[in-house]
Chain A
Amino acid sequence: MTPNFPPIRTAPAAAGLRAELRAFFASSVKGMTPARRARSWSGWDEEFSRALGQRGWIGMTWPEELGGRGASQLERYAVVEELLAAGAPVAAHWIADRQSGALLLRYGNEALKADMLPRIAAGELYFCIGMSEPGAGSDLASLRTRATATEGGWRVNGSKIWTTHAQHCHYMIALVRTGADAGDDRHAGFSQLVIELASPGVTVRPIEDQTGDAHFCEIFLDDVFVPAEQLLGQEGEGWNQVTAELALERSGPERFLSSHVLIEQLLATLCDQPGNTLTALTGAWAAELWTLRQMSLAVAAKLESGENPMIEASIVKDLGARFEQSVPRDLQAAYDDDAWGHDDGDLRETLSYLTAASPSFSLRGGTREILRGIIARGLGLR
C-alpha cells in the first residue's frame, strides 16, 4: 500500500467556531500591515498570545484541569488554520502549543505538568526547540551537547543554534547526550531536558536572518544546572521522543500556509477583470491550497485516531513547502501582467518579504532532502 489520504468525513470545527475566531481577528489582526501578517508564526506578540489564551484557544486538546478544554485534534486544527490564514502573530505561544506542551503532557512528571501547562494555555509561558547544533543539522544524531548527572539533577555543557525566538522564551526543551558517545546504535544515549533559559550559565545570542529579523539564536550552555524533575520521559529515550515530536512539528497547516497572506493580498488588489495569466495563477493556487488542506486534514484525522503518520506528514510538508515557495516566485514572474491592479505598496512589500523568507520554508523543521529520505524509506527503498 502506498501512503493514503482518505478525505475526512466530518467538519473539523463546530459551527460558529470559525465565525467567533474571525470576529476576534477583525479587531485584533486586520489592522496590521500585510507584511507583518505575512510573518504569522514568526511574528512575536505576547499580548496577542495572552488574548488567545483568555479565549481558550491555546492548549485546547489538553485536559481541563491542566488549562485545556479536552477538544479534539481536528478542532485544534481548525483554530490553528484560521490563525495562520489570517496572518495572526502567533509565534510567542506557537511552539509551546504545538509540541512542547504535548511533550510535557506525555512525558512530564505531575508537578511539572501542573506548573507549566496552565501557564502555556494562558498564553504566558513560552518554549523553544533545542535540537540543532553548529555541528549537527540534518544529522541530528551527531549532536554533542552533554548532560552529566550531578547531585539533584544534571549539568549541561555545549551549544545549540538556530533556536527560534530563544531570546524571548522561558524554557527550551533540549535534546542532549546523557549516555556514552555514539557507538553502534547512533540513536542511543539521548535524553530531553527542560532547560530554564534564565538559569546561570545560559547565554543567548540572537542571529539576524536575511529578512532583517533577528528571530533565531545561538545558545551557549556553560555548566548549566537542570533539576532532575526536568528530565522529560526516560533517560536514554530521547531519540524516540524527539521522533514523535517531529511528527507534530511537520504535519500542520503551517507547512502550506506560509504564503497565504500574499494570495489574499493579491486577490484584494487585482483589478476587476485580470488577464488570463493572473486568473490561471490564482486558480492554480486555490486548487493546490484545497488539495493540500484535504491532505493535511487526512493526516490530522490519523493523528487523532492515534496513528503515527510520519510518512504522510513528510509528504504534506514537502509538497506544502514547494507550494509556499512557488507563490512568491510565480507572482514575481507575473508581475508585469496587464491586469495588475492598484497596489499601494502593500502587495510589493509582502512579496519582497516572502521572496526573502521563502528559502527557509524547505529548511526549517527538516530539509526537503531529509523529508524525501523519510518518504523513500516508507516506500521500502532504503
Chain B
Amino acid sequence: MNDRRTILTETVDRLFANLAEVGAREDGGKEFDGHWQSIEAIGLPLLMIPEEAGGFGGDWEDAGVVFRALGAHGLGLPLGETVLARAWLGRIGHKAPEGVGLFAFAKEGPDESATTLNDLPWTDRADWILLLRPDRWSLLDAAGAETRERNLLSGDPRASLVFHALDPIADGPLSEGTAMFFAEAALLRACQIAGAIETMLILAIDHVRERRQFGRPLARFQAIQHQLAILAEENAAASCAAASACQSATLGEAGFEIAAAKWRASRAADIAADIAHQVHGAIGFTREYALHAFTLRARAWGRDFGNETYWARTVGRIALAERPKPLWHWLTDRSDRLLETERKRNE
C-alpha cells in the first residue's frame, strides 16, 4: 500500500469509528447532519474528483478503502452514493451540486412521464438524485418526489420515490450507456459488503470467546470453531475479490473483475450472515445488539446493482464470448496485462 493510501485508511478508520460510537443508527438519525459535516470537513464527498478540479483526488483503490470502512464500521451514510454520483457527473461533464447525492438506474428511455425509483437509501436526507437511463442522464431534485414504501429491513432507511413528472435540474444524452456506471455501483457494494463481513467475523469471535455454556466458552466447541473458520474463509474471499477488482478498476477496463467480485461478495454476504447470526444466538437477533447493522445491510447490498445470478450470467457470457480461447488463457493474460500496466505506471 502506498503512503497516501495508508494515511487515508487510518484517517477514515479513526473518523468512522468515532462516528459509529456516537451511534449513527438506522432510524434516519439525529446524528446524520453532524456526521455528514464531519465527513465533509475532510473532503471525503469529493473523493475521485481530480485535485485539479478542486476535488479530493484518489483512484478506485483509495475509494475502495473508504467504502470498505463504511461497511466495517456500520456507517450507513450515503457517502459512496454521493462520491460516485459526483464523480460520474464530472465524467459526463456537468458540475455536481453540493450536498447529499444519490443515484438510480431506470430501464425506460427518455420518457418524461411519471417515474418510480425503488429501494433507494436515505431518501429523506438526499438533496439530489442522478438518474441514469440507457441513453440519458437527468439530475433530479429529491424534494420533487413523493415517498412510498419506507422500510428499515435493509439496515438503512430505504424507500421508493415517485416522480409524478420528471422535471430535471439538468439532463443530457448518455453516449456510452449505463453499463460501466452500473458496474461501479456494484463495486461500491462489494467493498461495503467486504467491510461488513469483516466486522461480523470480529463480533462473532469476540462473542464466542466471551459467552459460556456447558461450563466453557462457546469458542471451545469444535462445531463453533468450524463455523467461524468458514466465516473467515468467506471474509477472505470477499475481501480479496473486492480489493482485486478495485485494483483492476484503477488500472483499466475492469468489467470482468467487478462482475466476479460482486458475485463473490454477494455470495459471501449470505453465508457470513447466516453463520454470524447462528453463533450469536438470540442476542444477535435483537435491535439493541449491533450485528444487524452488518448482516441486514450486507444482504441488501448483495441484492443491490445485480445479485448473484445477474453477475454469474454476466461473467458466463463474457467467458463464453471469448471462446475458442480457453478460459484459463484469457483469464491469466488479462491479469498479466493489468499488472504490467501497474508496473509501468510505477516505473
Contacts and interface: CB of A to CB of B under 8 A. Distances in A.
**Is B truly associated with A?**
yes
**Secondary structure call for the A interface:** helix
Contact of A286 (B261, B319, B335): B319
A312 to B, nearest CB: 8
Interface range, A side = 35 or more
A213 interface: no
A71 interface: no
A174 interface: no
A3 B226 contact: no
A236 to B, nearest CB: 30
Contact of B319 (A13, A283, A315, A379): A283
Interface in B304-320: 308-309, 311-320
B232 A375 contact: yes
Contacts of A267: 319-320, 323, 326-327
A285 to B, nearest CB: 8
Interface stretch (A43-51, A194-202, A268-276): A268-276
A11 B343 contact: yes
A244 B340 CA distance: 32
B17 interface: no
A381 B225 contact: yes
Contact of A268 (B201, B241, B324): B324
Interface in A17-67: 18, 22
A306 interface: no
Contacts of A376: 225-226, 228-229
B236 interface: yes
Nearest to B329: A22
Contact of B240 (A7, A373, A379): A7
A286 B229 contact: no
Interface string B235-261: 111011101100100000000110111
Contacts, number: 182
Interface string B71-105: 00000000000000000000000000000000000
A205 interface: no
Contacts of B314: 283
Contacts of B329: 18, 22
A113 B257 CA distance: 44
Interface stretch (B23-31, B202-210, B281-289): B202-210
A4 B257 CA distance: 19
Contacts of B326: 85, 264, 267
A276 B313 contact: yes
Contacts of B229: 318, 371-373, 375-376, 379
B320 A4 contact: no
Interface in B191-226: 198, 201-202, 205, 208-209, 219-220, 222, 224-226
A290 interface: yes
Given A270-B320, A291-B241, A379-B228, A286 B340 contact: no
Contacts of B224: 381
Given A11-B343, A381-B209, A286 B316 contact: yes
Contact of A6 (B230, B243, B309): B243
B219 A294 contact: no
A4 B201 CA distance: 13
Contacts of A288: 264
A15 interface: yes
B124 to A, nearest CB: 35
B336 A13 contact: yes
A210 interface: no
Contacts of B198: 2
A18 B232 CA distance: 33
B274 interface: no
Contacts of A378: 232
B331 A286 contact: yes
B333 interface: yes
A368 B229 CA distance: 10
A5 B312 contact: no
Q: Which of A18, A283, A293, A294 has the most chain B CB within a 10 Å cutoff?
A: A283
A260 B315 CA distance: 17
A372 B226 contact: yes
Given A264-B327, A267-B326, A3 B232 contact: yes
A221 to B, nearest CB: 34
Contacts of A264: 326-328
B319 A380 contact: no
Nearest to B346: A9
Interface in A259-303: 260, 263-264, 267-268, 270, 274, 276, 278-284, 286-295, 298
B233 interface: yes
Q: Which of B230, B240, B313, B329 has the most chain A CB within a 10 Å cutoff?
A: B240
Nearest to B337: A11
A295 B328 contact: no
16 contacts: A2-B201, A8-B339, A10-B339, A10-B342, A10-B343, A267-B323, A282-B320, A286-B316, A287-B259, A288-B264, A291-B237, A291-B244, A291-B261, A293-B335, A295-B237, A375-B232
Closest CB pairs A-B (n = 10) = A283-B316, A283-B315, A376-B225, A287-B260, A372-B229, A279-B316, A375-B229, A283-B312, A11-B339, A5-B240
Given A283-B316, A284-B263, A375-B229, 15 more contacts: A3-B236, A5-B243, A7-B244, A7-B247, A264-B327, A281-B312, A286-B327, A287-B311, A291-B240, A315-B233, A318-B229, A379-B205, A380-B205, A380-B209, A381-B208
